[in-house]
A and B are shown apart, each in its own frame.
Chain A
């Protein structure tokens, strides 16, 4: 394959990655933006989504597309319920104090990881794609399912945008984000808002995982990379800015796809982590965020 098509392939693979990354990172960004909570267990919510998708596919025994549709509904709901429970039982009792919540979510990370290991075992589990379709380009064939992932992620992100900017629920969330005390003075139950936002963030990660699991495999340790990449995206995009997060997901997803294809994945990761550290030190508002 010559350089042109090779680059095209890298960019297309990067797009798939960017789409899933955007879903996961927007979840993290929503939680941080509204609650000022850095959720270290976010990657485990992603992992749970994937594992539940495998569980559904394995136990339902229906057609692949039906299992997929069920997983698409069940996984985010179950994961969101777990997240709401964690918020009620742990985070709220810590009064969302930033440092304590980070330590607590690290604990949550280990608990969820161990739970997945004990309940589902240490093996990587493949999940069949809902449909088989091969798109034949002049230079290479590409899975039609990957196109579906990009479109589906785009649709979900559009729905999130609509929720945040055009509905009453979104208005309440933004009000809570801007000034929790004033929101409470206006009769908004901020505890409920926090619980729902935490659930929504976790649900988005789970959705991303259900979409990606027919391409990747479900494994109890798979949460590490999405967590790290989401962190990178959220920080480079500017902590708490949804628009910045989307732009950064696109940039990181595409460049990671390209760098990993032409150089080594390790080098790409070293550069990305150092970039994040330096962005936080020298431009805390993010590369795309407005000056605070």
Chain B
């Protein structure tokens, strides 16, 4: 049982490793981007899919990672490894701080509070345009775009770094959701009152889950800035709060591989759509409506329900 789960996930990682030798270079770059965004979606899934916290403000934590890594690199010439860790911590810390307040509410109020926090964060980036370069953003300096002496701007190194981060994030997520704490998270989603009666502290559990989710978002934001060399305010906008939700809903909320599947499917779908028409917003909109109407469990959720009950 456990061997089967481990084998599946390692097989996925092996396939991702092999993909760089098979796919044309355009798609290799796309896949690197997908893996970074999938880390973001995986973090979102920990909050939304497993703990039941529907946040509309995860762009804040993604941007925290992006600027947490990018700003020290821009102003103080910090190196790549340090920048990555700073971004990771910035995402987690901000998620924890936002959670302290936002988790006093639930349901619709929680969604609006997180939305407002993210909006305030976005506007703050614009307000301090002197340091953040506002809407124009800034290219991340070359000093920060290297890890252990390897430049991250090369295709091979970029892909391998994205794969490494994705693997670490996925295995950590797998361990988390199969742990005791993972089951308590699910208990919060399923019935908060009953878990409170059993002696768990819902506030503490949800806060921890949200902070972990913020660590993922921060890591993804920092990696995005370092690997693709740009940080800008558009990544803090509402759209980047909606995207992880879309990815997770598509792939399947509450599944470990769902975020990767959802990110890949939606990424290529919008990619193809923007090649055919300029109407890629329509694709996102129709996908959101259709998913909530016809497939609220997403692709892997459906597979788990029908065929593979063991899927974590």
Contacts and interface: CB of A to CB of B under 8 A. Distances in A.
Best-surrounded residue of A100, A110, A115, A228 (most CB of chain B within 10 A): A110
A129 interface: no
B107 A277 contact: no
B249 A103 contact: yes
A104 B107 contact: no
Interface stretch (B156-164, B179-187, B285-293, B303-311): B285-293
Given A108-B289, A273-B120, A280-B109, A266 B127 contact: yes
B126 A102 contact: no
Nearest to A282: B104
B54 A99 contact: yes
B123 A100 contact: no
B113 interface: yes
Nearest to A102: B111
Interface string A264-284: 101101100110111011101
Contacts of B116: 231, 273-274, 276-277, 280
B273 to A, nearest CB: 11
A153 interface: no
A178 interface: no
A94 B295 CA distance: 12
A117 B105 CA distance: 36
B108 A90 contact: no
A281 B120 contact: no
A107 B285 contact: yes
Nearest to B104: A281
Contacts of B102: 277, 281
B159 to A, nearest CB: 31
A93 B293 contact: yes
B72 interface: no
Q: Is the interface of B mostly helix, strand, loop or mixed?
A: helix
Contact of A110 (B107, B109, B284): B284
A280 to B, nearest CB: 5
B168 interface: no
How large, as a class, is the contact surface on chain A? 35 or more
Nearest to A90: B289
A113 B286 CA distance: 12
Contacts of A112: 285
Given A93-B293, A103-B249, A110 B112 contact: no
B296 interface: yes
A165 interface: no
B85 to A, nearest CB: 29
A207 interface: no
A241 B300 CA distance: 42
A102 B108 contact: yes
Contact of B105 (A90, A113, A281): A281
A109 interface: yes
Contacts of A117: 278-279, 281
Interface residues of B, number: 38
B124 interface: yes
A118 B279 contact: yes
Given A98-B107, A117-B281, A270 B123 contact: yes
A270 B104 contact: no
B101 interface: yes
Given A111-B289, A273-B116, A277-B116, A284 B123 contact: no
Interface string A72-102: 0000000000000000001001100011101
Contact of A231 (B112, B120, B284, B291): B112
B212 to A, nearest CB: 21
A270 B120 contact: yes
A195 interface: no
Interface in B247-302: 249, 278-279, 281-282, 284-293, 296
Given A98-B107, A104-B288, A231-B112, A110 B282 contact: yes
Contacts of B293: 90, 93-94, 104
Contacts of A108: 285, 289
B242 interface: yes
B123 A266 contact: yes
A150 to B, nearest CB: 28
B112 A38 contact: yes
A107 B109 CA distance: 20
B153 interface: no
B107 A99 contact: yes
A276 B119 CA distance: 11
A182 interface: no
A114 B123 contact: no
A47 B286 CA distance: 19
Given A110-B282, A110-B285, A117-B278, 11 more contacts: A98-B108, A103-B288, A107-B286, A107-B289, A110-B284, A111-B281, A111-B289, A115-B282, A117-B279, A117-B281, A280-B109
- Listed from nearest, the 10 A-B pairs whose CB atoms lie closest are A107-B288, A110-B285, A111-B285, A107-B289, A114-B281, A114-B282, A277-B116, A273-B120, A107-B285, A273-B116
7 contacts: A38-B112, A103-B288, A109-B285, A111-B289, A117-B278, A276-B116, A277-B112
Interface of B: 54, 56, 101-102, 104-105, 107-109, 111-113, 116-117, 119-120, 123-124, 126-127, 242, 245, 249, 278-279, 281-282, 284-293, 296
